[in-house]
């Protein structure tokens, strides 16, 4: 795959809004096992809260999904792959992110913790915007600027 195509795919995966409108994959292979991901997420989300007996299962699924996401991202970043394989990887990473977002929302049981998370996300977006606007993409301050 050409490097500029790889960068486009990585940028797409890294977008904050990448999961908006994205579908959770019906099935996904995670750590060598096929997981009915869409069914699992919808089954868990149907409940108001995750029962204690399901909490360990959900936490393990989230850990495995994060691990799989990181492996796929690493392959997309550094692997010798075709553009088609890169597209498939990018789509699967976005699908995993969508599933993780849905599962993470289950943990937002109380309004205060959700508000704090949103405020932190807003601050992060604002700082990223300021860094980009001021030409500080790498996050390090530059002497003589401002």
Give pLDDT, residue 35.
Answer: 87
CA distance linking residue 110 with residue 102, whole number of Å: 16
Q: Catalogue the E-assigned strands of the chain.
A: 28-30, 33-35
Query: Would you say 64 and 31 are in contact if contact means Cβ atoms under 8 Å apart?
Result: yes
The pLDDT assigned to 57 comes to 85
pLDDT attached to residue 110: 45
Q: For the whole model, what pTM was predicted?
A: 0.68
Which residue ranges of the chain lie beneath pLDDT 50? 110, 139, 145-146
Nearest to 66 by CA among 34, 33, 30, 37: 30
Rounded CA separation 29/102 (Å): 18
Beta carbons within 10 angstroms of residue 102's beta carbon: 18
C-beta of residue 76 within 8 angstroms of C-beta of residue 10 = yes
């Amino acid at each position: 795959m050409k490097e500029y195509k790889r960068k486009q795919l990585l940028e797409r995966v890294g977008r904050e809004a990448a999961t908006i409108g994205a579908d959770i994959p019906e099935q996904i292979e995670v750590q060598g096992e096929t997981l009915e991901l869409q069914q699992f997420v919808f089954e868990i989300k149907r409940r108001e809260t995750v029962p204690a007996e399901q909490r360990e299962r959900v936490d393990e699924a989230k850990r495995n999904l994060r691990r799989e996401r990181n492996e796929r991202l690493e392959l997309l970043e550094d692997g010798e792959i075709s553009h088609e394989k890169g597209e498939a990887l990018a789509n699967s990473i976005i699908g995993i992110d969508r599933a993780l977002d849905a599962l993470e929302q289950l943990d937002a049981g109380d309004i205060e913790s959700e508000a704090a998370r949103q405020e932190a996300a807003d601050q992060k977006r604002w700082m990223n915007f300021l860094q980009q606007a001021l030409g500080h993409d790498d996050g390090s301050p530059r002497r003589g600027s401002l």
